[in-house]
Amino acid sequence: MRMLRQMLPLLAAVAGLLVLFRVWVPGFLAPDNMLDLAQQISVNAIIAFGMTLVILTGGIDLSVGALVALVGTTTVYGLIALGGTETQSVPGVMAAMLLGLGAAAAVGLVNGLCAARTRMPPFIITLATMLVARGAALRFNEGRPMHIPEVHTLFLWLGNGRVGCVVPVPVPVLVMLVLFVLAAVLLHRTRFGQHLYAMGGNREAALFTGVPVARIEAVVYVLGSLLAAVAGMINASQLYSAEPASGSGFELSAIAAAVVGGTSFTGGRGTMVGTLIGAVIIGILDKGLNQAGVHFSLQYIVKGLVILAAVYADVRRDR
């Protein structure tokens, strides 16, 4: 009940935006358009789930956008090398995806260990690994996009497939929903989640209460990177190719979704539902303004102001 009350202003914002764009753009609420919207939200939402976990500890992860590109290139490279260009071998595809996840986990582990074991601020650590990851992505194929061979229907299904006979739900939306449930359970129903809140609220006090803060910090960055990896694979699949330059600015959208959803930037406060709704709000704005024919320059300005307003409302409610 308390959760619902907290989410009420956000849900009201979603409803308000939907009505607004329904008036502005006829057919905005049509089922097809809504499914399309959900599909567009999914990549950002998945990254934002991880970002929420990181921000809850009082940290930040700027490297996830570059990871989207790195995981895309690594995985597609693996697909071509292991899965073949003429035929599709399932073990090969699995291996390629593991390769992508592994690359992301490695970057996440570096972030996490640096944050936990040194006094370097997470902003700087992940700024540095962002550059490293982006550079690593550009090492593949001399920085040019790598096309995904059409035989790889399995991998292409991940970003473009639809499931269900009555309502054909896009696969990325299903992936997002499954990851949402997992992340929400992790955050709100496990000891790990309790410890995240404790650590973000007061790191010192959490340590004095026996919370393994260093381990949690390391794990949280790995989780954030793995979620970004899933987003990166979906992204590559949707583009039918691995683009080393893709994903730039994704980290900022994810931060925006988390913050609009009520995650406190100083850590210790925020929910997964909030972040999901935050991603939905950002998504509706993107799609709605686009379909309404608003010039993209104005879209940036509107989005910026909405984020400012949302955070201001959140800060005010706090007092």
Partner 1 sequence: MLSLRGVTKRFGGITALDHVDFDLRPGEIHALLGENGAGKSTLIKVLGGIHVPEAGSIDIDGRPAHIRGVADANRRGIRLIHQELSLAPNLTIAENIYLGREPRRLGLLDRRRMERDAAALVEELGLHEIRDVRTVVADLTVAHRQLVEIARALSCRARVLVLDEPTSSLSEAETEALFATLRRLREQGVGIIYISHRLAEILRLADRITVLRDGHSIGTQPAAAVNQRELIRWMVGRDVAAQAPPKSLGPGDVALEVRDLRSARVNGVSLELRYGEILGLAGLVGAGRSELARALFGIDAVESGEVRVDGRPVVLRHPRDALAAGIVLVPEDRKREGLIALQTVAFNLALPWTREWITGPVFHAQRRRAIVDRAIRDFRIKTAGPHECVLNLSGGNQQKLVVGKWMERRPKVLILDEPTRGVDVGAREEMFEIIHRLVESGMAVLLISSDLLEVLSLSHRVAVYKDGRILFTAPARELTSERVMEYLTGAKTDENA
DSSP the chain: -HHHHHHHHHHHHHHHHHHHHHHHSTTTTSHHHHHHHHHHHHHHHHHHHHHHHHHHTT---TTHHHHHHHHHHHHHHHIIIII-SSS--HHHHHHHHHHHHHHHHHHHHHHHHHHHHS---HHHHHHHHHHHHHHHHHHGGGG--EEPPTT-HHHHHHHH-EE-SSS-EEHHHHHHHHHHHHHHHHHHHSHHHHHHHHHHH-HHHHHHTT--HHHHHHHHHHHHHHHHHHHHHHHHHHHTEE-TTTTTTHHHHHHHHHHHTT--TTSS---HHHHHHHHHHHHHHHHHHHHTT--HHHHHHHHHHHHHHHHHHHHHHH-
- Is 84 a binder of partner 1 (CB under 8 A)? no
> Which of 195/303 has CB closer to partner 1?
195
* Per CB under 8 A, 30 contacts partner 1: no
Pick the binder of partner 1 from 91, 142, 166, 204 (CB under 8 A): 204
CB of 267 to partner 1, least distance (A): 9
C-alpha–C-alpha distance, residues 293 and 125, integer Å? 39
Q: Does 211 bind partner 1 (CB under 8 A)?
A: yes
| Nearer Cβ to partner 1 (122/267) | 267
Q: Is 6 in the site for partner 1 (CB under 8 A)?
A: no
Residues of this chain, 254-283, that bind partner 1 according to CB under 8 A: 264, 268-269
**Is residue 208 a contact point for partner 1 (CB under 8 A)?**
yes
Q: Would you count residue 1 as binding partner 1 (CB under 8 A)?
A: no
Choose between 86 and 318: whose C-beta lies nearer to partner 1: 318
9 is an interface residue for partner 1 by CB under 8 A = no
Question: Which of 198, 216, 282, 289 is the binder for partner 1 (CB under 8 A)?
Answer: 198
Told to check if 18 binds partner 1 by CB under 8 A, we report: no
Residue 62 binding partner 1, by CB under 8 A: no
Binding characters for partner 1, 168-197, by CB under 8 A (x = yes): -----------------xx--xxx--xx-x
How many amino acids of this chain bind partner 1 (CB under 8 A)? 23
User: In whole angstroms, how close is the CB of 193 to partner 1 at the nearest point?
Assistant: 9
Interacting residues with partner 1 (CB under 8 A): 185-186, 189-191, 194-195, 197-198, 201-202, 204-212, 264, 268-269
